[in-house]
Every structure is written in structure tokens, then in C-alpha cells.
Structure 1
Amino acid sequence: MKYQTELKDEILFIRLEGDLIAGPDTQTLITDVDQKVNANVLLCAVDLSNVRFMDSSGMGVLVSLLTKFRNRGGELVLIKPSDHIRKLLIVTKLNAIFTIAENDIFAAQFLKESIY
């Protein structure tokens, strides 16, 4: 898995690509996010549009990220998961705890409204 982060208008955008599975990249991602949360970044949007596959470890990463932001009074939203990832979220009932946005604009709008 590859990822990029961008801080834009106080929102951390994380763009994931490839397979969201356990490995050194996921641990690096969690460490990077910890640093941002500790620097008082409270809003996060995770772009899943280029994620091909996700296993239970990948789902755990998403839940961990969501927990980190919510524990600080923030919020996290998922952007445009593929059909495969969307089905996994439904089967595991994680769609009930994650908000899904279709693009960056809707994600940013939801996140800004969620803290006011």
C-alpha cells in the first residue's frame, strides 16, 4: 500500500492506493496520523477510491484512525470507496459507523459541519 497525506483547510486528507492490509506501511500511516492528531488536527478524510483490496487488518486500521479522531473530539470520513470496499463495509456493518462521501468537497463540507 502507498499513501499520501495533505493538510488542507485544517483537514488531513489521506489518499490510499493498493491493498489495505497489515504491513510496515500501515504502521507508518498510523504513526503519521498520531503525529497530526497530537498537533491538534481533528478532521480527517480518507480517500479509498484507489484501494483494490482490504482485509480485516485494513478494516482495523480504519477503525483505529476513526477512534483516534473521535477520542479528540474530531471526525473522520471515507471518500469514494470502491464497490468491493463498500460491500465489505456493509457486510461487516462498519458502514453504520463511517460516513462515506463521494468526493473531497462533500467530505470537507461534512467534516466542517460536524465540529460546529
Structure 2
Amino acid sequence: MKVSYDVLKENNILILQIKGDLIGDDIGPRLVEVVSDAINEKMIICIIDLKDVRYISSSGIGVLITMLTKMRNVGGEVYLCSPSEHVKKLLIITKLNNIFTVYESISEAKEKISG
């Protein structure tokens, strides 16, 4: 399944809505570029919506970690939200749930971040 993504920007928060399988390939560098551009615009909070992601490969995980590293290097943070059961299990197995803050929904993430 081809991956696509939507970029929303609100209240200095970058929201990336990813759809499809996150397997790195050509989408990885583009997602990292979106984060770099946001940082250049002084946005240091990124919410990644995983609601429509069924599968994440090891290179997809690499992409998430690269985005997180870029944000943390400027004092920012990346939050994951709405992971499917399968993706949730993957986050636990890879211990990424200890690295990323994971929320059940975008609205919960926004509430907690701005709170």
C-alpha cells in the first residue's frame, strides 16, 4: 500500500497524518524534510498521527527516530498518536514506547501538550 501524508500546522504544532505502510523507502526522506522545514519555521512540536498506518518496517522506525532526534536537538519533541493495535505492539516490542510519548488521539495530544 502506497504511503501518503498530510501536513497540518496549527498553533506552532506540526501535525503529520501518515496513511499506509511506513516502510521508509522514498517517503522517509520527505517526512524528515517536512520536520526540518518546520524546525526552520521555529516549530518544535510534532504530532505524528498513526491512525491509518498498518505496518512500520525497521527503516520506518528509523525515520521516526530521525524525526525525533532532529526535534530534540532544538529542544522540541515528537508525539505519536492513534496507533493501531499492531503498531502499538511494535512500539512495545522495540521499546519505542519508552522513547516516544504515545497518545490515543490528536485531541488528547494537543490537550496534554498545551496544558
TM over 0.5: yes
State how many pairs are aligned: 113
Look up the match of 1:52: 54
Q: TM-score, normalised by structure 1?
A: 0.92
Q: Please report how far the alpha carbon of residue 33 of structure 1 lies from its aligned counterpart in structure 2 after TM superposition.
A: 1.4
- 1:16-64 per-position Cα deviation (integer Å, ceiling 9, x unaligned): 0001012112211111211111221111100001001111001111111
In the TM superposition, what are the counterparts of 1:6-25 in structure 2 within 5 Å? Answer: 6-25=8-27
Unaligned runs of at least 5 residues, structure 2: none
State the TM-score, normalized to the length of structure 2: 0.93
Q: Matches of 1:25 and 1:94 in 2, distance apart?
A: 20
Out of 32, 40, 43, the position equivalent to 2:42 is 40
User: Which SS does the other structure have where 1:87 is aligned?
Assistant: helix
**Which consecutive unaligned segments of at least 5 residues does structure 1 have?**
none
Give the distance between the partners of 1:92 and 1:51, measured in 2 at CA: 17
Q: Does the 8 Å CA contact 1:76/1:111 hold for their aligned counterparts?
A: no
How far did 1:84 drift?
0.6
Instruction: Name the structure 1 match of 2:32.
Output: 30
Structure 1 stretches of at least 4 aligned residues deviating more than 6 Å after TM superposition: none
| 2:53 aligned counterpart, secondary structure | strand
SS of residue in 2 equivalent to 1:40: coil
Task: Give 2:82's aligned residue.
Answer: 80
The amino acid of 1:35's aligned partner reads D
Q: Is the 1:49–1:81 contact (alpha carbons within 8 Å) kept by the matching residues of 2?
A: yes
Is the 8 Å Cα contact of residues 82 and 106 (structure 2) preserved in structure 1?
A: no
Sequence identity, in percent?
41
